[in-house]
Structure 1
Amino acid sequence: MTETTPQPSAASVATIHLSQLLKSPVIAGSGESIGRVDDLIVRLPGGDAYPPVTGVVVSVGGRDVFVSAERISEFGVDRIVLAVNKVDLRGFERREGEVLLRTDILGHRLIDVAAAELVRAYDVELDHTGDSWVLARLDTRPPARFFGLIKSSGGHASRDWKAFEPLIGHSQSLNVRGVSARLRGLKPAEIADLLEEADKRERGEILDQVHGDPELEADVFEELDSDKSSRLLNDMPDGEVAALLGRMRADDAADSIMELRQSRRRRVLDLMPAGQRVKVITLMGFNPDSAGGLMNTDFVSCPLDATAGQALSTIAVAHALQPEALLKVHVLDADRLVGVVSVIALLQTDPATPITGILDDDPVRVSPETDLTDIALLMADYNLYAVPVVDDTDRVLGVVTVDDVLEDIIPEDWRRREPAPRPVREPAPASTNPTANPDGPAQL
């Protein structure tokens, strides 16, 4: 018998929910019921295509068997009709890269890329493209409950499959999916939030992906809660920890070193790049709640005889510094602080203007012993984003930036609050006409 691609018929529709298909009867070409739908199989394609349905797992007399999509003549909301009279009764075995919609997606979590959060899939929508059925959308809205019983939610809150990073923690398809550019395109703080919410398997996969981008990995660890960062670092070998801390800001690296077991600290420090090791050891000598413990030892500076244009050029090449540390240039004379000038003043001044004509020659500064509360009050009183830390001779030791102060001053119970939900654009209604978009599912 010639195998045909399943097409919509009078009894079928252009969009089907997985929940409608599960446990539905599977009818042979002769009209005989041979089993019930246990699961649907898709294969994740390369590029930006939707995953096509490649087969059905059918429960036949207590045995799960595979039926290829090519042997199906009709997908309906209440049944599947085969184009053949018999099926191969050998037990179903999953092949590399196959994804089972019920087993692997329903009830499991995925990354909502736009909202940068982990969400759970409660249903799957399949669309007919004219050539095949494809996984088109997910429903991530929990079903309504009434006295503990699950009731219909009264419709589906479906969103495009491409809005999600699929199957986090699903090792069977990891090789097919590869490293996700979408996941690595999230902000470091967003990835850190995902790691803090993820379970062990999900966390392992997210870490594997960011590990492929060393700079992103360092940025993510800078954003992690100290307890979570400590647990993750404890699971890494000394060499990897040293390399990671070597790419982090010195103040964050010092905090991470202090979170390690004391028996590991010296080993990790010895493996770190020499320059970073010196900075970290210096910072470790200060009280962590003081200016010395909070400061970053990297800052942007220029000599007293510089022009506005030359000062701006120092900012242009300071790629390794955090943006907050670039808002002001520290003007030095023989390594002593004689003033600061804001980047705004530099941008609004003729490049040939001497720096002495626009600097603030009496800037707010603090000693390494200044405590966190005093720094916060100074920043609030003088509307500062950064404060230089100087020794007794006015030599600049580092800079405390506003993000460091906020991170330490926010109450712990605030950190456990759920953030306000991000607005998500409602999808356009899906077309019920299978010819409306012959190249793929309705775009949301």
Structure 2
Amino acid sequence: MTMGSRVYLARLAALPVFDPNGDRVGRVRDAVLRLRTTNRPPQVVGLVAEMALRRRIFLPIGRVTSMDAEAVVLSTGMLNLRRFEKRPNELLVLEEVLDRRVMVEPEDRQGPAQAGTVVDLGMELNRNNEWLITRVAVRQHTGRLARRGHTYQVEYDRIRGLVGPTDTQGTSNLVALLEQMRPADMANALQDLADARRNEVAAALSDRTLADVLEELPEHDQVEILIQLDRERAADVLERMDPDDAADLLAELPKAEQAVLLDLMEPEEAAPVRQLMSYTPGTAGSVMTSEPVILTPDTTVAEALARIREPELSPVVAAQVFVARAPSATPSGKYLGMVHFQRLLREPPSSILGGLIETDIDPLTPETNLTEITRRMATYDMVAMPVVDNAYRLVGAVTVDDVLDHSLPRDWRDRDAQDAQEEADAQRQAQPEPRAGS
């Protein structure tokens, strides 16, 4: 980086961070501004990076040796791995500044100010090696309905309202950045927002995206976001969730609210959710997915491979196909067996599944408990196991991620709970060990 070079902070979001040896440290999740006591522009003091296990740490801006469209590179030295906590005089760019509604004074300071929305912040390095906000990219508001206008850049000192109440903040640009992330990363980013801001941003996501994100959030956050939506929208989002995840979420709501939302869902979408909710908690029936890949025995290998290549299928669901007599929707006809995708890759495309099925592993029943499911999946190195009813019809499949979700502590996705556990572990490690014989 050279003196006077300008960097736009929103463009750094999600960029990988590398150490001098080329080893990846994490990804950029935000930038930290330090507010001044005078009218001087805010100083950028560092970046927030997300490491493995969703830990967010602070990277001082002085440790950054280069920033471009591809990556952020750090200098040598130890990293402080303490979880990032914002200080009272600091602002986070993506969380608190992006999408703020501001007023832009005319260049000659004469006449009325124009309304706009912050799209990005540009920082530059001064002679004291400080990164200061010098430019603000703004989208103009036009007309009585504040429709989107053109985007332009202005000097920082022409902006009014950049620092102020959060009720002057929109969502469009932050949503655009979040939608570039994986659902799990989006969920993690939402947990870092204030409750009101989180609910506002979540409501601005598309139904499909919000459904994916809800599946990655702690249960209390799922409920909080869902109840903030109007019931028609909530039902639409539930329809786009996997039936087992929708059933788990509905189970956290009062019975009366469950009934209302199920009635608002399309009947064909509500039916598998109702069925899953009828099973005893902690059994295969309560944790299984009711939408595994089910094909008939006369299906060819080529057709099966085309089916599991469909992008909406998760890796664990696409890892095998289950073979059953028609119909192919749950509950299916008689269950015959399964074929793993590795076997499909080794066979001629014209071969039919009926000649390839594996039948040596007994399927689960809806009443099989989690302990037995875990034991059997570990014994046979399975990523998914079929679940059949008394008539030997396939009613679903338990996948390894289903087992993990229900075996881990209920709050394993909750960042606050993780922080509390880490603090408790650190305190225990700080306690002196008892002397021998004491």
**TM bucket, shorter chain:** 0.5 to 0.7
Indicate yes or no: 2:168 matched with 1:172: yes
Distance 1:170 1:18, change over 3 A: closer
Q: Which residue of 2 aligns with 1:430?
A: none
Task: Please list, as runs of the form range in 1=range in 2, the aligned pairs for 1:185-200 lying within 5 A after superposition.
Answer: 185-200=180-195
State the secondary structure of the residue aligned to 1:259: coil
AA of the residue aligned to 2:318: L
Cα deviation for residue 200 of structure 1 reads 2.1
Cα deviation for residue 382 of structure 1 reads 1.0
User: Which of 304-313 and 258-267 deviates more?
Assistant: 304-313
Q: Which residue of 1 aligns with 2:418?
A: 417
Q: Percent sequence identity over matched residues?
A: 30
Q: Which residue of 2 aligns with 1:392?
A: 390
Does the Cα contact within 8 Å between 2:218 and 2:412 map onto a contact in 1?
no
Task: Please list, as runs of the form range in 1=range in 2, the aligned pairs for 1:204-283 lying within 5 A after superposition.
Answer: 204-209=199-204, 211=205, 213-283=206-276
Distance 1:169 1:284, change over 3 A: farther
Cα deviation for residue 276 of structure 1 reads 1.1
Q: Distance in 1 between matches of 2:273 and 2:256?
A: 17
Indicate yes or no: 2:328 matched with 1:327: no
AA of the residue aligned to 2:179: R
Cα deviation for residue 378 of structure 1 reads 1.2
AA of the residue aligned to 2:324: L
Q: Distance in 2 between matches of 1:311 and 1:168?
A: 56
Indicate yes or no: 2:303 matched with 1:310: yes
Q: Distance in 1 between matches of 2:407 and 2:125?
A: 51
State the secondary structure of the residue aligned to 2:220: helix
Q: Distance in 2 between matches of 1:216 and 1:168?
A: 30
Does the Cα contact within 8 Å between 1:41 and 1:98 map onto a contact in 2?
no
Structure 1's unaligned 5+ residue stretches are 1-12, 24-36, 43-47, 49-65, 72-86, 106-123, 138-165, 421-444
Distance 1:136 1:294, change over 3 A: farther
Cα deviation for residue 207 of structure 1 reads 1.1
Distance 1:127 1:341, change over 3 A: same
State the secondary structure of the residue aligned to 1:400: strand
How many residues align? The count is 297
Q: Distance in 2 between matches of 1:242 and 1:388?
A: 29
Q: Which residue of 2 aligns with 1:97?
A: 116
Cα deviation for residue 349 of structure 1 reads 1.3
Q: Distance in 2 between matches of 1:288 and 1:347?
A: 37
1:371 aligns with one of 360, 369, 380: 369
Q: Which residue of 2 aligns with 1:201?
A: 196
Distance 1:235 1:180, change over 3 A: closer
Distance 1:67 1:374, change over 3 A: closer
Task: Please list, as runs of the form range in 1=range in 2, the aligned pairs for 1:335-354 lying within 5 A after superposition.
Answer: 335-354=333-352
Does the Cα contact within 8 Å between 1:330 and 1:340 map onto a contact in 2?
yes
Distance 1:14 1:191, change over 3 A: closer
State the secondary structure of the residue aligned to 1:417: helix
Distance 1:15 1:375, change over 3 A: same
Distance 1:40 1:266, change over 3 A: same
Distance 1:401 1:169, change over 3 A: farther
Distance 1:399 1:220, change over 3 A: same
State the secondary structure of the residue aligned to 1:227: helix
Cα deviation for residue 171 of structure 1 reads 4.7
Please give the root-mean-square deviation of Cα atoms over the aligned residues, in Å: 4.0
Does the Cα contact within 8 Å between 2:41 and 2:132 map onto a contact in 1?
no
Task: Please list, as runs of the form range in 1=range in 2, the aligned pairs for 1:110-121 lying within 5 A after superposition.
Answer: none
Distance 1:397 1:215, change over 3 A: same
Does the Cα contact within 8 Å between 2:247 and 2:274 map onto a contact in 1?
yes
Task: Please list, as runs of the form range in 1=range in 2, the aligned pairs for 1:113-192 lying within 5 A after superposition.
Answer: 125-127=123-125, 135=133, 170-172=166-168, 174=170, 178=173, 180-192=175-187
Cα deviation for residue 194 of structure 1 reads 2.2
Does the Cα contact within 8 Å between 2:309 and 2:318 map onto a contact in 1?
no
Q: Which residue of 1 aligns with 2:62?
A: none
Q: Which residue of 1 aligns with 2:63?
A: none
Normalising by structure 2, we get a TM-score of: 0.58
Does the Cα contact within 8 Å between 1:367 and 1:389 map onto a contact in 2?
yes
Q: Distance in 2 between matches of 1:361 and 1:386?
A: 14
State the secondary structure of the residue aligned to 1:352: coil
State the secondary structure of the residue aligned to 2:170: helix
State the secondary structure of the residue aligned to 2:305: helix
Does the Cα contact within 8 Å between 2:239 and 2:269 map onto a contact in 1?
yes
Structure 2's unaligned 5+ residue stretches are 7-31, 44-68, 70-102, 136-161, 327-332, 423-438
Q: Distance in 2 between matches of 1:389 and 1:22?
A: 62
AA of the residue aligned to 1:126: E
Does the Cα contact within 8 Å between 1:340 and 1:363 map onto a contact in 2?
no
Distance 1:377 1:167, change over 3 A: farther
Q: Distance in 1 between matches of 2:164 and 2:399?
A: 35
Cα deviation for residue 320 of structure 1 reads 4.4
State the secondary structure of the residue aligned to 2:215: helix
Cα deviation for residue 353 of structure 1 reads 2.1
Q: Distance in 2 between matches of 1:292 and 1:223?
A: 21
Distance 1:358 1:67, change over 3 A: closer
Superimposed CA distance per residue, residues 4-50 of structure 1 (whole angstroms, 9 cap, x where no aligned partner): xxxxxxxxx8489997x946xxxxxxxxxxxxx424499xxxxx9xx
State the secondary structure of the residue aligned to 1:174: coil
Q: Distance in 2 between matches of 1:326 and 1:168?
A: 49
Superimposed CA distance per residue, residues 221-278 of structure 1 (whole angstroms, 9 cap, x where no aligned partner): 1111111111222222211111110111111111111212222121111110111111
Distance 1:259 1:388, change over 3 A: same
State the secondary structure of the residue aligned to 1:374: helix
Superimposed CA distance per residue, residues 283-337 of structure 1 (whole angstroms, 9 cap, x where no aligned partner): 11101211000011111122223332232233245x5443311111111135111
AA of the residue aligned to 2:116: G
Q: Distance in 2 between matches of 1:308 and 1:182?
A: 40
Task: Please list, as runs of the form range in 1=range in 2, the aligned pairs for 1:38-117 lying within 5 A after superposition.
Answer: 38-40=39-41, 96-97=115-116
Q: Distance in 2 between matches of 1:185 and 1:125?
A: 23
Q: Distance in 1 between matches of 2:226 and 2:169?
A: 27
